[in-house]
Amino acid sequence: MLKSATDMLKKYKQIKTLPHVAIHLTKLLSDPNSTTQDFEQIIKMDPTLVGRLLRLVNSAYYGLRQKVSTISEAVVFLGLDNLRNMVVTSALKEIFKKDSGNPYFSVNKLWLHCATSGICCQMISERIFAHKGEDAFLCGILHDIGMIVEYQIAPDDFLQACQNYKPEIKPFTKFEQDILNTHHSEIGYLLADDWKVPNQVQEGIKDHHNINRKVEPSSISGIIQLSEYIVTKINYPAIPAMHPTLSQDMALFFKNNFDELKTMIQNMPEEIQKAKEIYE
């Protein structure tokens, strides 16, 4: 299965990858010797990214009294983790452009699922566990990127897996594996490793459908599983028939923390609207 995922990813990288600016920035973010000036030199090469960066720091979300007008000020204020997430989100919007027109799979709906998952993951991390939420957001928005690879490299096989999928029979990853000899979680894990995202984010992507593995609810892997369940329940599925389930431990956590999670879910539309104002 790993070899099949590696072969598919190799073909994908020959036709499409993260835009040039995003690749340079992700490398800088993994280099502890990078400076603010290094980031400014790269960001200013992309006018759209400059606009989004300045719009974000000057948005009502942050409520600054004085307007930020330079890239370096924006980078310092926003922080490197938030910068990374904004760059990856902007780049992914370009990758998720071409829709299938197929009733069993929609690129546009997958984008909505991933974007909403990122928001949900960050809210769970920050509001339920009182942890920093940037890595959780990154895992949420990247967790299904493997589906895009499958769709672009083997569209007929991937769409067949979507059409065949019956949640009452077995998980979607098993239908993918039957036809493609791999699945999107494995491919996404390898792609995340190639992009040098944090290890815990890579593990979350790899395990987001693995309900047989025991995970801590507060870990990235636990958060993405919980988010996948919630986001699908509020009608943002990755594919129309998707029906994720929780492990026994995560189901118990959901039950025991239902009131807190319900309040968080009620606040999600407001957070989704904030994200739309930044990225659309």
- pLDDT tens digit sequence for 50-67: 887 888 788 776 777 788
Q: What is the pLDDT of residue 147?
A: 95
| C-alpha–C-alpha distance, residues 172 and 33, integer Å | 42
Q: What is the pLDDT of residue 57?
A: 83
pLDDT digits (tens, 9 = 90+) for 157-195: 999 999 999 999 999 999 999 999 999 999 999 988 888
Residues in a beta bridge with 102? 105
Residue 24 has pLDDT above 80, yes or no: no
State the DSSP string of 202-232: HHHHHHTT-TTS---TTSHHHHHHHHHHHHH
Q: What is the pLDDT of residue 47?
A: 77
Going by the DSSP 8-state scheme, the letter that residue 154 receives in this structure is S
Residue 266 has pLDDT above 80, yes or no: yes
Of 64 and 279, more confident: 64
State the DSSP string of 232-279: HHTT--SSTT------HHHHHHHHHTHHHHHHHHHHHHHHHHHHHHHH
Q: What is the pLDDT of residue 196?
A: 78
- For residue 268 the two structure tokens come to 């999600």
CB distance 178 to 161 below 8 Å: yes
CB distance 230 to 261 below 8 Å: yes
Q: Which of 187, 176, 205 is nearest to 12 (CA)?
A: 187
CB distance 146 to 185 below 8 Å: yes
Q: What is the pLDDT of residue 19?
A: 61
pLDDT digits (tens, 9 = 90+) for 237-249: 999 989 888 988 8
Q: Binning pLDDT at 50, 70 and 90, where does residue 260 land?
A: very high
Weakest mean pLDDT among 14-18, 87-91, 259-263: 14-18
Q: Binning pLDDT at 50, 70 and 90, where does residue 259 land?
A: very high
pLDDT digits (tens, 9 = 90+) for 194-218: 887 889 999 999 999 998 888 999 9
Q: What is the pLDDT of residue 46?
A: 77
Q: Which of 52, 51, 45 is nearest to 279 (CA)?
A: 52
| C-alpha–C-alpha distance, residues 73 and 76, integer Å | 5
Of 258 and 273, more confident: 258
Q: What is the pLDDT of residue 245?
A: 87
Q: Which domains, from first to last, does the chain contain?
A: 2-16+98-279 (1.10.3210.10)
Whole-Å CA distances, 55 to 44, 61, 80, 211, 277: 15, 10, 16, 39, 9
Taking the CA atoms of 95, 25, 268 and 272 in sequence, report the sign of the dihedral they define: negative
What is the share, in percent, of the chain residues with pLDDT greater than 70? 94
What is the share, in percent, of the chain residues with pLDDT greater than 90? 50
Backbone angles phi, psi at 57, to 5 degrees: -70, -25
Q: Binning pLDDT at 50, 70 and 90, where does residue 92 land?
A: confident
CB proximity list for 79: less than 8 A, separation 6 or greater:
134
